[in-house]
């Protein structure tokens, strides 16, 4: 069985035409004065899904989350949760909880009191609170820190207290606004996996807002890429990366080489692209792009091979000169300037310690790739 990316996915309700969406944004618009922060946006999220809203600063992703939580109302359109229109329902009556960027822990309260706070407010009986707090402390591995105050904890531990507090009331949906923003890189990576485990073990629906594409790719079942208040694409991480729907998405997620050109000849998904200056690209992924259409050919750096000699039998091979090399340990990134001035980025995994075909700055080199390695973008 072939699959995009390297992972087989068993959880994919979005592919099931009978699956009922859990959260629905239905033609939602949000205006602040004359400014349109969210523009006629529709998207659906399924129960138990880990869903990420990804976009640059100011694209409207926090506004979407705040409308779902009930801190803002849409100017137009509807938001449904389990089929119910949420309009007019105050935040505390929605089965939704939000974890904020700043965590907002109570500084004078111990860890266990921070976690118990919402439960006490709801009037839960004391023994039940104690049991629930114990369960939460165990879940986020903070049992031995129960009596500490927030300032006696590390950033990562504080983040886990905030998380425990926001899931203690068992909301059906947890909304997370840049949940790992305050953590350093290594801790972020660890915490990403912890969050995924937590979401799985509690069976909750998570909607996370992030501007960090790696974070979205790591954690989410599906990602919505948002730009200027509109959805550019909703897809799994592998689809977003391997089958971007537009130039914008291809350029936004990961590194990509882009060749602008015209479809010179196309038959059943295969095509030649005339990319100018004598460069012709042969691809099997032209989809239904018509002959003569102006398209972009997008190809990821790791799908480009670099070699000192023209590889025998290569369908696509272009000559140029090595003008930059970055050795990153696990891989090496080459920038090759083609004879038309176009710069191509190629990356090679350093699977062995010794390289058979070492290249240096200013060497002549060939970049080559298979006809199924890139995608043709019409938008």
The residue ranges that bind ligand ATP (CB under 6 A) are 32, 35, 37, 55, 57-63, 211
Closer residue to ligand ATP, CB minimum distance, 214 or 284: 214
Closer residue to ligand ATP, CB minimum distance, 98 or 375: 98
Closer residue to ligand ATP, CB minimum distance, 61 or 300: 61
Residue with the CB atom nearest ligand ATP in the bound state: 62
Closer residue to ligand ATP, CB minimum distance, 37 or 136: 37
Residue 41 CB, shortest distance to ligand ATP, in Å, is 12
Residue 229 CB, shortest distance to ligand ATP, in Å, is 7
Closer residue to ligand ATP, CB minimum distance, 67 or 250: 67
Closer residue to ligand ATP, CB minimum distance, 63 or 192: 63
> SS3 for the chain, per residue?
CCCCCCCCCCCCHHHCCCCCCCEEEEEEEEEECCEEEEEEEEEEECCCCEEEEECCCCCCHHHHHHHHHCCCCCCEEEEEECCEECCCCCHHHCCEEEECCCCCCCCCCCHHHHHHHHHHHCCCCHHHHHHHHHHHHHHCCCHHHCCCCHHHCCHHHHHHHHHHHHHHCCCCEEEEECCCCCCCHHHHHHHHHHHHHHHHHHCCEEEEEECCHHHHHHHCCEEEEEECCEEEEEECHHHHHHCCCCHHHHHHCCCCEEEEEEEEEEECCEEEEECCCCCEEEECCCCCCCCCCEEEEEECHHHCEEECCCCCCCCEEEEEEEEEEEECCCEEEEEEEECCCCEEEEEEECCCCCCCCCCCCCCEEEEEECCCCCEEECC
Closer residue to ligand ATP, CB minimum distance, 41 or 59: 59
Contacts 24+ apart (CB under 8 A), 313-319: 314/366, 314/368, 315/282, 315/370, 315/371, 316/281, 316/282, 316/368, 316/369, 316/370, 316/371, 317/366, 317/367, 317/368, 318/279, 318/344, 318/366, 318/367, 318/368, 319/364, 319/365, 319/366
Residue 246 CB, shortest distance to ligand ATP, in Å, is 19
Residue 244 CB, shortest distance to ligand ATP, in Å, is 20
Residue 102 CB, shortest distance to ligand ATP, in Å, is 12
Burial class (CB in 10 A: 0-12, 13-18, 19+), 346: buried
Closer residue to ligand ATP, CB minimum distance, 15 or 57: 57
Residue 174 CB, shortest distance to ligand ATP, in Å, is 17
Angle between the N-to-C axes of helices 126-139 and 155-168, in degrees from 0 to 180, rounded to the nearest 10: 140
Residue 103 CB, shortest distance to ligand ATP, in Å, is 16
Closer residue to ligand ATP, CB minimum distance, 39 or 280: 39
Residue 34 CB, shortest distance to ligand ATP, in Å, is 10
Closer residue to ligand ATP, CB minimum distance, 44 or 63: 63
Residue 64 CB, shortest distance to ligand ATP, in Å, is 7
Residue 220 CB, shortest distance to ligand ATP, in Å, is 16
């Amino acid at each position: 069985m072939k699959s995009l990316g390297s992972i087989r996915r068993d959880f994919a309700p979005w592919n099931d035409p009978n699956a009922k969406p859990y959260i629905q944004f239905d033609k939602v618009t949000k205006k602040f004065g004359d400014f349109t922060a969210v523009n006629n946006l529709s998207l659906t999220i399924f129960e138990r899904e880990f869903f990420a809203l990804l976009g640059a600063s100011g694209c409207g992703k926090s506004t979407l989350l705040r409308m779902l939580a009930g801190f803002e109302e849409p100017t137009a359109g509807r938001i449904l949760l389990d089929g119910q229109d949420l309009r007019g329902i105050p935040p505390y009556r929605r089965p939704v909880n939000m974890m904020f960027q700043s965590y907002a822990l109570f500084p004078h309260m111990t860890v266990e009191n921070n976690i118990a706070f919402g439960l006490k407010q709801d009037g839960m009986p004391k023994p039940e609170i104690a049991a629930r707090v114990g369960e939460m402390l165990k879940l986020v591995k903070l049992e031995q820190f129960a009596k500490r105050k927030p300032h006696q904890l590390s950033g990562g531990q504080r983040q886990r207290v905030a998380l425990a507090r926001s899931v203690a009331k068992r909301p059906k949906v947890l909304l997370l606004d840049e949940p790992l923003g305050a953590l350093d890189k290594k801790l972020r990576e660890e915490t990403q996996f912890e969050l995924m485990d937590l979401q799985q073990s509690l069976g909750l629906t998570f909607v996370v807002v992030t501007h960090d594409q790696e974070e979205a790719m790591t954690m989410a079942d599906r990602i919505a890429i948002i730009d200027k208040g509109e959805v550019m694409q909703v897809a799994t991480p592998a689809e977003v990366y391997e089958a971007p729907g537009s130039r914008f998405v291809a350029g936004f997620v990961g590194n990509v080489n882009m060749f602008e050109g015209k479809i010179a000849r196309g038959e059943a998904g295969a095509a030649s692209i005339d990319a100018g200056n004598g460069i012709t690209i042969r691809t099997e992924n032209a989809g239904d792009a018509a002959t003569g259409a102006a398209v972009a050919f997008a190809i990821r750096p790791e799908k480009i091979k670099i070699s000192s000699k023209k590889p025998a039998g290569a369908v696509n091979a272009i000559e140029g000169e090595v003008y930059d090399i970055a050795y990153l340990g696990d891989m090496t990134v080459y920038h090759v300037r083609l004879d038309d001035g176009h710069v191509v980025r190629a990356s090679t995994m350093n699977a062995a310690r010794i390289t058979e075909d070492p290249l240096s700055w200013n060497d002549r080199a060939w970049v080559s790739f298979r006809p199924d390695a890139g995608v043709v973008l019409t938008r």
